[in-house]
């Protein structure tokens, strides 16, 4: 028996949880029926378009939208940033129009007259000595006595420079909304958002600040499907507020205002860069003794974030670290899947992999030896995961000391990395409804980013009620449903599974109370399984689910499930280990992935299919930033040179390599921890693992991501073994 009434059923009794369940919204998506915000067409809808600033840093000297307003077909126009406003990045929005169709809006926006006073800008930060007073200390920290540790004549010391540039989110659905006024005091938004429940209050506050009076309760946000977010879509954003203003000006008509691809890449999300010099030392036996890092990065005009180094191995006895944040005129940073972790992981595990090479140690052995420096609660997980990853990657057969010595221009190498993430469920809630006809609905103002939220809710409810997944109707993506937190930081699956479980158990107990008299037992002697409500241990005394629900008479059961709440259903703190196996062509500099292995824990897995898809997705997104992605800024013109998808490169299906192996750590020691989020962890390690594999193959470190042919060839030419 469960010791706490909402507890997950014991492992042996799970019917659906932990198995593979097909996405319940899969048919809608594969058939094109799923309606994303970008797909919403409303009667009388206008199309919005914004005018953006071509300068990286400037002040608005004059601005006049009246020529746009006079253009035939234009129904509204407004100034976003008036005279005197200081623009901090190219692509920032200064004015907007709404017109009868998109082409007319594009024409009209070009009629707007703006003059700027152009100011000096900085858009490249990788050379800290040139960053001047744009560079500000973001703090330093000292543990133990690093100077003494490095001075130890017995110490083996390795030094190197490592870095990763700014990259973008590049969600395939750009940012934007369709907004309309249903009357003087009510607004409806179709938003491409990771934060359905949070958008109304953001929009309400922004509109009230502009003296447009509307109460949060009269704002409804809908997002049934979203084409990617990755941390960049928590906010209504300026363009959402602008759409509401344009709509108001046009008498409440719906306004669709989606960014175009160039705008999206330039302004709607950047992951901060991270560069740095690292010195690390170990004793001859391989025990790490000291860490010294001086790092910097940019997150645009605001702070860059401070990646947590040394990553995972926080117990290194002697540490000095210092970080500098460089303020630049690039688009602002947004949370990018596992904020700060991929950068910290690269900086730490590339530097320590170089130290292992200097020690002539097998890097897997080296990290296993030092894993006791990780937080205690993760040590056992990592130990088991290292072994699994070694097995799946055939590490002991395939690993060789640094530099593949086989003749020819194709060099093969292996690299390992590991990572951690929190992932506890956020605060949120749902309604569970059980009707006399036997139908079951779960409603929540949550969202499904493609992670499988709908499916997770259906699996948990179905498991609890002893019903098939198809019997559960899941309604999400509307702020009118009970509040749920934003989907960020891998917090959704923990929350959604917990509030569904609590709401469903309460509903089931109400049903048991209604059914018990007719079966002549107490409610607590009943159980729900295989589509029946039956007496525990006596399936001959049972009612079909439908007949059981009919006992409710005219009464429909409504319960509310909440998180946090009683009983430990979710948890926090996962570990993962990844291995990359690559071949580098030393003539062309091309890196080819032979195999990627991901071994990942996330506590109790709800749907193994969508969980594995998360890990595959993380690996592939990792290949993208390891090999291809970079927001290339031009210091002369102050603009992004590759604000399009030809030159802002993502991996294609042919770029991901031969074999992707995903192994979820499940069973005793994992399942009993409860549910933990999985969105972020698998994307953290690929950069470091692939960089380490390339170093292992060619014998030199390519210091910066992405590992483009040019960088690989330059590293080979320099021949500098880090």
Partner 1 sequence: MRKKREKKEAALALSRRDFLKGAGVTVSGGLLVGSSAAAAEAAVSENVVGPGPVPITLRINGENHRLSLEPRITLLDALRDHLNITGSKKVCDRATCGACTMLMDKKPVYACTVLAIEAEGHDITTIEGLAKDGQLSPVMEAFWKNDAQQCGFCTPGFVMACTAFLMKNSDPTLEEIEKGLGGNLCRCGTYAGIRRAALEAAKAMKGAQIHG
Give me the 133-172 binding string for partner 1, x by CB under 8 A, dash otherwise.
Answer: -------------------------------------xxx
Candidate list 6, 181, 225, 670; residue touching partner 1; CB under 8 A? 225
Cβ proximity to ligand FES, 466 vs 679, nearer residue: 679
Residue 520's H or E segment, with its range, is none
- DSSP annotation string for 38-83: GG---TT-EEEEEEE-SSSSEEEEEEE-HHHHHSTTEEEEEESS-T
Chain positions 587 to 646 lying near partner 1, rule: CB under 8 A, are 609-610, 612-614, 616-621, 624, 644-646
Cβ proximity to partner 1, 550 vs 660, nearer residue: 660
Shortest spacing between CB 230 and partner 1, in angstroms: 8
Cβ proximity to ligand FES, 30 vs 641, nearer residue: 30
Cβ proximity to ligand FES, 370 vs 451, nearer residue: 451
Q: What are all long-range contacts of 641-647, with beta carbons under 8 Å and residues at least 24 apart?
A: 642/265, 643/91, 643/261, 643/262, 643/263, 643/265, 643/266, 644/261, 644/262, 644/265, 645/170, 645/261
What residues form DSSP beta bridges with 278?
Answer: 160, 293
Candidate list 18, 23, 508, 561; residue touching partner 1; CB under 8 A? 23
Q: What distance in Å separates the CA atoms of residue 93 and residue 581, rounded to the nearest whole number?
A: 44
Q: Would you say the C-alpha torsion 152, 155, 161, 163 has a positive or negative sign?
A: negative
Residue 239's H or E segment, with its range, is helix 237-249
Task: Identify how many contiguous H helices and E strands the chain contains and give both numbers.
Answer: 17, 30
102 binds, among partner 1, ligand FES, none (CB under 5 to 8 A by kind): partner 1
Cβ proximity to ligand FES, 450 vs 466, nearer residue: 450
What residues form DSSP beta bridges with 281?
Answer: 157, 290
Give me the 289-328 binding string for partner 1, x by CB under 8 A, dash otherwise.
Answer: ----------------------------------------
CA dist 387 → 390, 416, 491, 547, 663 (Å)? 5, 12, 28, 52, 12
**31 is an interface residue for partner 1 by CB under 8 A:** yes
Candidate list 19, 238, 261, 532; residue touching partner 1; CB under 8 A? 261
Reading phi first (left if > 0) and then psi (alpha if -120 to 50, else beta), residue 692 is in: alpha
Shortest spacing between CB 28 and partner 1, in angstroms: 8
671 binds, among partner 1, ligand FES, none (CB under 5 to 8 A by kind): none
Q: Which region, judged by CB under 8 A, interacts with partner 1, from 38-46, 424-432, 492-500, 634-642?
A: 38-46
Q: What distance in Å separates the CA atoms of residue 110 and residue 102, rounded to the nearest whole number?
A: 13
Cβ proximity to ligand FES, 228 vs 308, nearer residue: 228
Shortest spacing between CB 298 and ligand FES, in angstroms: 27
- DSSP annotation string for 269-321: -EEPPEEEEEEEEE-TTS-EEEEEEEEEE-BTBB------SS-S-TT-SEEEE
**714 is an interface residue for partner 1 by CB under 8 A:** no
Cβ proximity to ligand FES, 160 vs 686, nearer residue: 686
Q: Which residues form the interface with ligand FES (CB under 6 A)?
A: 172, 228, 450
414 binds, among ligand FES, partner 1, none (CB under 5 to 8 A by kind): none
What residues form DSSP beta bridges with 76?
Answer: 98
Cβ proximity to ligand FES, 228 vs 523, nearer residue: 228
Candidate list 361, 656, 678, 702; residue touching partner 1; CB under 8 A? 656
The phi, psi pair for 411, rounded to 5°, reads -115, 130
Shortest spacing between CB 652 and partner 1, in angstroms: 5
Q: Where are the alpha helices (DSSP H) in 121-236?
A: 146-151, 199-209
User: Quick one: CA torsion of 105, 111, 115, 120, rounded to 10 degrees?
Assistant: 50
83 binds, among partner 1, ligand FES, none (CB under 5 to 8 A by kind): none
36 binds, among partner 1, ligand FES, none (CB under 5 to 8 A by kind): partner 1
For 642, residues 6+ apart whose C-beta sits below 8 A from its C-beta are 265, 630, 631, 632, 648, 649
**41 is an interface residue for partner 1 by CB under 8 A:** yes
Q: Would you say the C-alpha torsion 242, 243, 247, 250 has a positive or negative sign?
A: positive
**38 is an interface residue for partner 1 by CB under 8 A:** yes
What residues form DSSP beta bridges with 295?
Answer: 276, 323
Candidate list 60, 188, 226, 472; residue touching partner 1; CB under 8 A? 226
Token pair 């449903």: residue? 481
For 43, residues 6+ apart whose C-beta sits below 8 A from its C-beta are 254
Q: What distance in Å separates the CA atoms of residue 342 and residue 56, rounded to the nearest whole number?
A: 27
**33 is an interface residue for partner 1 by CB under 8 A:** yes
Token pair 């190197």: residue? 160
Residue 176's H or E segment, with its range, is strand 176-183
CB nearest ligand FES: which residue? 172
703 binds, among ligand FES, partner 1, none (CB under 5 to 8 A by kind): none
Cβ proximity to partner 1, 80 vs 170, nearer residue: 170
User: Quick one: CA torsion of 123, 129, 131, 137, rounded to 10 degrees?
Assistant: 120
**101 is an interface residue for partner 1 by CB under 8 A:** yes
Q: Which region, judged by CB under 8 A, interacts with partner 1, from 28-36, 114-122, 384-392, 665-673?
A: 28-36
152 binds, among ligand FES, partner 1, none (CB under 5 to 8 A by kind): none
Cβ proximity to ligand FES, 168 vs 247, nearer residue: 168
Shortest spacing between CB 240 and partner 1, in angstroms: 19
Shortest spacing between CB 300 and partner 1, in angstroms: 21
Cβ proximity to ligand FES, 67 vs 228, nearer residue: 228
Q: What distance in Å separates the CA atoms of residue 254 and residue 316, rounded to the nearest whole number?
A: 57
Q: Would you say the C-alpha torsion 592, 595, 601, 602 has a positive or negative sign?
A: positive
Return the DSSP state at 545. Answer: H
How many residues bind partner 1 (CB under 8 A)? The answer is: 60
260 binds, among partner 1, ligand FES, none (CB under 5 to 8 A by kind): partner 1
Nearest to 527 by CA among 465, 469, 468, 569: 465
Positions touching partner 1 (CB under 8 A) are 22-23, 25-27, 29-36, 38-39, 41, 47, 101-103, 106-107, 110, 170-174, 225-228, 230, 260-261, 449-451, 609-610, 612-614, 616-621, 624, 644-646, 650-654, 656, 660
């Amino acid at each position: 028996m469960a010791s706490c009434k909402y507890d997950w059923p014991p492992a042996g009794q799970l019917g659906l949880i932990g198995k593979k369940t097909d996405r319940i919204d899969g048919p809608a998506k594969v058939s094109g029926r799923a309606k994303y915000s970008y797909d919403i067409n409303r009667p009388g809808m206008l199309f919005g378009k914004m005018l953006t600033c071509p300068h990286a840093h400037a002040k608005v000297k004059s601005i006049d939208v009246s020529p746009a307003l006079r253009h035939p077909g234009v129904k509204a126009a407004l100034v976003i940033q008036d005279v005197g406003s200081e623009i901090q990045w190219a692509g920032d929005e200064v004015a907007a129009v709404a017109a009868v169709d998109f082409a007319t809006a594009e024409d009209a926006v070009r009629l707007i007259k703006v003059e700027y006073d152009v100011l000096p800008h900085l858009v490249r930060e990788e050379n800290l000595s040139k960053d001047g007073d744009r560079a500000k200390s973001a703090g330093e920290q000292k543990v133990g006595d690093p100077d003494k540790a490095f001075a130890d004549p017995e110490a083996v010391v390795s030094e190197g420079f490592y870095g990763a540039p700014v990259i973008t989110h590049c969600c395939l659905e750009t940012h934007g909304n369709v907004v309309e006024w249903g009357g003087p005091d009510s607004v409806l938004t179709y938003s491409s958002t990771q934060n359905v429940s949070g958008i109304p209050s953001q929009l309400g506050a922004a509109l009230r600040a502009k003296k447009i009076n509307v109460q949060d309760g009269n704002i409804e946000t809908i997002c049934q499907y979203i084409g990617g977010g990755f941390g960049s879509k928590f906010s209504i954003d300026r363009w959402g507020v602008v759409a509401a203003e344009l709509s108001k000006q046009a008498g409440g008509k719906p306004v669709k205002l989606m960014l175009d691809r160039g705008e999206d890449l330039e302004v709607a999300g950047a992951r901060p860069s991270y560069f740095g010099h690292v010195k690390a030392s170990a004793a001859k036996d391989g025990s790490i003794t000291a860490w010294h890092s001086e790092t910097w990065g940019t997150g645009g005009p605001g702070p860059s974030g401070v990646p947590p180094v040394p990553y995972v191995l926080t117990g290194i006895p002697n540490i000095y670290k210092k970080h500098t944040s460089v303020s630049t005129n690039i688009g602002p940073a947004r949370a990018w899947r596992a904020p700060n972790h991929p950068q910290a992981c690269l900086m730490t595990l590339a530097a320590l992999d170089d130290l292992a090479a200097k020690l002539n140690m097998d890097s897997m052995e080296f990290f296993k030896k030092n894993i006791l420096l990780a937080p205690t609660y993760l040590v056992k997980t990592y130990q088991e995961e290292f072994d699994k990853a070694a097995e799946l990657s055939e590490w002991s057969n395939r690993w060789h000391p640094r530099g593949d010595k086989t003749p020819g221009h194709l060099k093969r190498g292996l690299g390992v990395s590991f990572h951690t993430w929190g992932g506890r469920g956020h605060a949120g809630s749902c309604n569970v409804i059980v009707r006399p006809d036997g139908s079951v609905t779960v409603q929540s103002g949550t969202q499904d980013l493609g992670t499988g939220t709908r499916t997770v809710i259906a699996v948990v409810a179905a498991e609890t009620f002893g019903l098939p997944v198809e019997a559960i109707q899941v309604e999400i993506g509307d702020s009118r449903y009970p509040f749920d937190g934003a989907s960020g930081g891998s917090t959704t699956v923990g929350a959604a599974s917990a509030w569904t479980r609590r709401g469903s158990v309460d509903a089931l107990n109400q049903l048991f109370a209604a059914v018990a008299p007719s079966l002549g037992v107490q409610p607590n002697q009943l159980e729900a399984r295989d589509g029946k409500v039956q007496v525990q241990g006596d399936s001959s005394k049972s009612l079909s689910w439908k007949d059981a629900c009919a006992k409710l008479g005219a009464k429909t059961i409504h319960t509310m499930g909440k998180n946090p709440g009683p009983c430990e259903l979710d948890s926090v703190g996962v570990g993962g280990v990844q291995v990359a196996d690559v071949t580098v062509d030393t003539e062309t500099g091309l890196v080819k992935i032979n195999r990627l292995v991901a071994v990942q824990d996330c506590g109790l897995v709800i749907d193994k299919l969508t969980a594995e898809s998360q890990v595959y997705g993380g690996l592939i997104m990792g290949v993208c930033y390891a090999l291809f992605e970079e927001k290339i800024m031009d210091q002369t013109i102050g603009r992004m040179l590759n604000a399009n998808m030809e030159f802002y490169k993502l991996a294609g299906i042919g770029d991901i390599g031969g074999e992707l192996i995903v192994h979820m750590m499940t069973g005793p020691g994992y399942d009993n921890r409860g549910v933990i989020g999985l969105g972020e962890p698998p994307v953290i390690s690929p950069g470091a693992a692939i960089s380490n594999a390339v170093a292992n193959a060619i014998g030199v470190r390519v210091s910066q991501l992405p590992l483009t042919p040019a960088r690989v060839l330059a590293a080979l030419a320099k021949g500098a073994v880090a």
